[in-house]
Amino acid sequence: MITQHRLDSAHQVDSPNADVRPHGEISLVVLHSISLPPGRFGGKEIEALFTNQLDWDAHPFFQSIRGLRVSAHLLIRRDGSCVQFVPFDRRAWHAGRSRWQGRQALNDFSVGIELEGDARPFTHAQYHRLARVLTALEAFYPRINACERVTHEQVAPLRKTDPGPSFDHRYLMRLLAG
């Protein structure tokens, strides 16, 4: 359930990397994947990145993203737990330079959902939580529907590859249909 543009079941951690949606429109979901450092799961690094508290010297990879200011609306961890960084009525900084169906500046009207993962298969717990989240979003924001769910690789194909080939679109669709 969504109350005041926040997912009731999510742990709330506010990110400063958000601002006002210019038109108030919410009509698209962009699915991403992330692991920090690459290949590691379960740590605090993703939350630290999205709240500008990442220790850039804690891992060699972090130097390549030093100073990055990004966020997502939600993070779904490997165990299915969910963290919300930005209320849905605000613009999170997740899609970057992107394009979908002739439109640009997708952050202006999309909800960004990060799945904790990499090239390995995502967990059943993540798919089940994602299906519940999508159902809640579609009920609360009627402009979002099955045609308005995309992946980062679809909206920035020359720049991004996430969530990648291990993301099982068919399994998610079965969960949403059932």
Which positions are catalytic? 114
Query: 97 — phi, psi (to 5°)?
Result: -65, 115
Tell me the C-alpha to C-alpha distance, in Å, between residue 5 and each of 24, 47, 122, 140. 12, 20, 26, 9
3-state secondary structure of 12: strand
Residues paired with residue 7 on neighbouring β-strands, in sequence order: 2
H or E element that contains 156: none
Do strands 149-151 and 28-34 pair parallel, antiparallel, or not at all (unpaired)? parallel
Query: What does the alpha-carbon distance between residue 103 and residue 74 come to, in Å, rounded to a whole number?
Result: 23
DSSP per-residue string spanning 92-137: ES-S-S-EETTEE-GGGTEEEEEEE-SSSPPPHHHHHHHHHHHHHH
Q: Please say whether the beta carbons of 97 and 159 come within 8 A.
A: yes
